[in-house]
Amino acid sequence: MKIPFALIGCGAIGSRHAAVIDAEPRAKLVALCDIEESKMERQRDLYGREVALFADYRDMLAATDAEVVNICTPHGLHAEMAMAAARAGKHVLVEKPMALHTADAQEMIRVAAECDVHLMVVKQNRYNVPIALVKKAVEEGRLGKIFMVQCNVLWNRHDEYYQHSNWRGRKDLEGGALFTQASHFIDLMIWWFGDVVDVHGHIATKNHAIEIEDCGNALLEFSSGVMGTMTWTTCVYNKNYEGSLTIIGEKGIIKIGGQYLNKIEYWDVMSYPLPEDVEFIDQPNLYSKYQGTSSNHPRVVSDVVAKLLKERHHVVEGDEGFKSIDAIEMIYRKATILPGGNP
């Protein structure tokens, strides 16, 4: 038995979804949609002539017998596409961020419930080996009382990254760098320490000709009482420098780093050394000039299949995805915009 999947958006991550669905033994790719025909054709050439192609996602939703629709388009299109798919009776797997506004995310959750379909969000970094080790250590209370978390997303996005895209850097379609570059980090902190309940922040656009920020600092307060700081930027000279999360607790300190949160850089926890037999097996998603996230998408898709077959799974549902949108919206609402030197 293979669950039929359809895919909207055959760009950088959509092509990865196509490969992952094709490789999943209990899934099959039945339809593709993109406004650029050549991108769909490239995927069909790889995964079979029987895959149907559609230039308009509404036509695809009306015609396809897919049970799940993966949404891999620019952020600002996720909400309308997810709700249309739900209304067509399809389960939805939407890329992060699920939406650009909490009102849209709430409406997506409501429509999915009304249509009796699952709304699922891609959060593949939760499967990373170091992330899971920290989750376990936190849940078991190994760090004692946790005082603080520090998050650094110090990355480079060159001018062409924005210039060669018709949606990146735009307020209506990308929303902000927090949605693109930092939403995984925010999701993980919320997963470990609870909802973000208050924030203070500064943002600025210092080194790109874009409508969104490229530098930001935020102070975060989590519902568990943990204090957080975040610095995020796409202005680092030449190439990505660091994506890291450092947790400071009464009985220990852990720093996760690497190019895509794939390494433990520091681990000193009372009576709880880093297990020696742990294998750091996460691999990166490779884009033209940069890496940013882990490529644990196969785990996400196999968990979607498991959920639909009523097996054990770790799928992230819409209400969990909502939490990082809520936190990001709060940061943008409360942040002071500093003068930038926007070119």
Ligand X SMILES: NC(=O)c1ccc[n+]([C@@H]2O[C@H](COP(=O)([O-])OP(=O)(O)OC[C@H]3O[C@@H](n4cnc5c(N)ncnc54)[C@H](O)[C@@H]3O)[C@@H](O)[C@H]2O)c1
Binding residues vs ligand X (CB under 6 A): 8-14, 33-36, 39, 57, 72-75, 77, 95-96, 122, 124, 165, 180, 285, 293
Residue type, 70: N
Cβ at position 287, least distance to ligand X in Å: 7
Cβ at position 72, least distance to ligand X in Å: 5
Phi, psi of 269 (to 5 degrees): -125, 130
For residues 255 and 284, give the distance between their C-alpha atoms in angstroms, rounded to a whole number: 19
Nearer to ligand X (CB atom), residue 137 or residue 261? 261
Nearer to ligand X (CB atom), residue 169 or residue 216? 169
Residues paired with 257 in a beta bridge: 263
Cis peptide upstream of residue 275 (ω within 30 degrees of 0)? no
Residue sitting closest to ligand X (CB): 11
Q: Which of 57, 44, 59 is nearest to 94 (CA)?
A: 57
Nearer to ligand X (CB atom), residue 33 or residue 137? 33
Nearer to ligand X (CB atom), residue 156 or residue 165? 165
H helices, E strands: number in the chain? 11, 17
Cβ at position 19, least distance to ligand X in Å: 13
Nearer to ligand X (CB atom), residue 233 or residue 293? 293
Give the DSSP H or E segment for 215.
Answer: strand 215-222
Sign of the dihedral defined by the CA atoms of residues 223, 229, 235, 236, in that order? negative
Q: Are strands 336-337 and 91-94 parallel, antiparallel or unpaired?
A: unpaired
Nearer to ligand X (CB atom), residue 11 or residue 194? 11
For residues 21 and 3, give the distance between their C-alpha atoms in angstroms, rounded to a whole number: 10
Cβ at position 81, least distance to ligand X in Å: 7
Cβ at position 10, least distance to ligand X in Å: 5
Residues paired with 245 in a beta bridge: 151, 256
Cβ at position 57, least distance to ligand X in Å: 5
Residue 96: CB atoms within 10 A of its CB come to 23
For residues 105 and 321, give the distance between their C-alpha atoms in angstroms, rounded to a whole number: 8
Task: Provide the CA 178 distance to its chain's centre, in angstroms.
Answer: 11
**Residue showing tokens 């978390």:** 149
Cβ at position 261, least distance to ligand X in Å: 11
Nearer to ligand X (CB atom), residue 143 or residue 187? 187
